[in-house]
Structure 1
Amino acid sequence: MFFDLFDSTTNYNAVIAAQSGSGKSFLTNEIIMQYLSIGSRAWVIDIGRSYEKLARVLGETFMVFDANSDICLNPFSIVQNYDEDADTLVGLVTAMAAPTQPLSDFQGAGLRRVLYPFTSKGEYGRFFNRPNNVDFQGRLIVIELEELRGRKQLQQVVLSTICIALPAARPLPRTRRSRFSWVRTGRRS
């Protein structure tokens, strides 16, 4: 039986809610498999590795942001039209510089200092300060954020960069079932 999330004329969103251990991830893995079987593309953002086996069994992309990963999400190499994406990039830089509050004029002057961790010599530079090496064109892309749970600023910037990259990914031929995104938000991050 195929569960069609897009069988609606008004809204293409869905929520799966239940107690811990009741099979939400199992059901979601099944739904993802169904959509992949009809040629859809799926992107999953997760904390807890619920989709790692699925990605590995299918030979698809499983990204982990740990000390051994060679991931680089350079948002400036993702952007294709600066005029269209300038506001998004400004928001991303603001998330790097001021993760909890908007910048005042005075704080803006200190932007250089707070961006340092994202430079080639900074703690997070290896994730951003090289050519983008993540291919968002695969059928299934699982982005695992478990290792970023204790690094809120880096997690926020990674999520913001992914939000730039996913819509820029080459679209499939126009159908109702071209793209499927799943964001697991049930766990504290």
Structure 2
Amino acid sequence: MKTSNLADLLPIYGAWTGTTEPSVLLRSGSGALLKFDPFDSEFTNSNMLISGGSGSGKSFLTNIILMQMLKENPKIFFVDIGGSYKKLCENLEGQYLPLGVSEGIAINPFDLAPGEEAVSNQKIKFLVGLIELMAKEEDVSRLPKLERAEVEEAIREVYATSKAPRLSDLQRIFLNHKDPSINRFGKILAPWCGDSLFGKFLDQQTNISLDKQVVAFDLKGMETYPELQAVCLFLITDLVWREVQKDRLTKNSYALTNAGSSSRTNRGSCLSRRFSEPSASTRRRPLRFRRTSTTSPSRGLQGRCCQTAQSSGFCFSNRWMANGSRRF
């Protein structure tokens, strides 16, 4: 047999053999054990999108991966709508946080990371994005550059004049500003300050601490307040980021599941900036999961599902494509 003909009989590709370290053991399509480490240097980042139809096993796969990673003592954070991970959280003696206007939980967005004495530029940008989220109109993607600059200047003034800044301190600066166009920000923030419905959640000192290995946030209680739910989802990224910075060498996992209703909007495009932008002070970024459903499982990550992932800034690894030779 000629060499040219023999080449036609040789396989041009084979099944993926897995990563070097067996942080997670899975079963390949051929039934063989597959080693998988989400933090392996082979990957350009540690982000994944798990996609599939209803009942196809997205939650099960997420649980399998995270449960096996527990042996490495990571910090695991879930963001969910509906309490899907409440039982898992209880079984692992974790921390389940139902967020809502009547739950008595408060998160102060002006809190700094542990050991941080001066506010960082990254924190300032986060707060500018938060105020933009609260103040801009629905049909506007971003505030004008001049207004963003004024908001940033006001936030820096808050930190310069207050030892324990809160949102109402920023509102007061806006109301006292000599420019009427900036005064309006103070009026817009009124429903978010003081003892108002939203102010009880945002304009108070933070009364929760993420001291458990497994933490689950449930946004079900905010479904009737979509504007607050979007802001809360934005705040959680900062809260988790501050927790991640406590130990820069610990592996961390951040799972966003069934929260797509908030992240599909322009507001949601800011959610991943906290974890996707490089930071000189952070050596390890958290592993981020995005679990979402598709109307047609056979189409894999095509169509609206893929567009949602891209528009919200969440990356995914081709190891998780529903169709392809590297499927588990």
TM range (shorter): 0.7 to 0.9
SS in 2 for 1:143: strand
Partner of 2:203: 129
- State the 1:52 CA deviation: 1.0
Confirm or deny that 1:4 pairs with 2:37.
Answer: yes
Counterpart of 1:117, as a letter, is: P
The one-character-per-residue Cα deviations of 1:6-31 (angstroms, maximum 9, x if unpaired) are 23432211221111012211221222
Which structure: larger Rg?
A: 2
1:117-156 alignment to 2 at 5 Å?
A: 117-156=191-230
Confirm or deny that 1:86 pairs with 2:124.
Answer: yes
Partner of 1:97: 135
The one-character-per-residue Cα deviations of 1:55-104 (angstroms, maximum 9, x if unpaired) are 12222111112344121110112454423211111111221222633345
Confirm or deny that 1:51 pairs with 2:51.
Answer: no
SS in 1 for 2:53: coil
Confirm or deny that 1:166 pairs with 2:250.
Answer: no
TM-score (norm 1): 0.86
SS in 1 for 2:51: coil
Q: State how many pairs are aligned.
A: 187
Structure 2 unmatched runs, 5+: 1-23, 26-35, 148-179, 263-328
- State the 1:107 CA deviation: 5.6
2: CA distance between counterparts of 1:60 and 1:78? Answer: 24
2: CA distance between counterparts of 1:63 and 1:185? Answer: 16
Of the structure 1 ranges 93-102 and 120-129, higher mean CA displacement relative to structure 2 is found in: 93-102
Structure scoring higher RCO (CA < 8 A, sep ≥ 6) equals: 1
Structure 1 unmatched runs, 5+: none
Counterpart of 2:105, as a letter, is: I
Percent identity between the aligned chains?
29
SS in 1 for 2:247: coil
Counterpart of 1:66, as a letter, is: G
Counterpart of 1:132, as a letter, is: T
- State the 1:185 CA deviation: 4.3
2: CA distance between counterparts of 1:55 and 1:149? Answer: 22
Report the RMSD for the aligned CA atoms in angstroms.
2.3
Any conservation in 1 of the 2:101–2:221 contact (CA below 8 Å)?
no
1: CA distance between counterparts of 2:238 and 2:248? Answer: 21
SS in 2 for 1:110: helix
Counterpart of 1:56, as a letter, is: E
2: CA distance between counterparts of 1:89 and 1:186? Answer: 22
Counterpart of 1:184, as a letter, is: T
Any conservation in 2 of the 1:48–1:144 contact (CA below 8 Å)?
yes
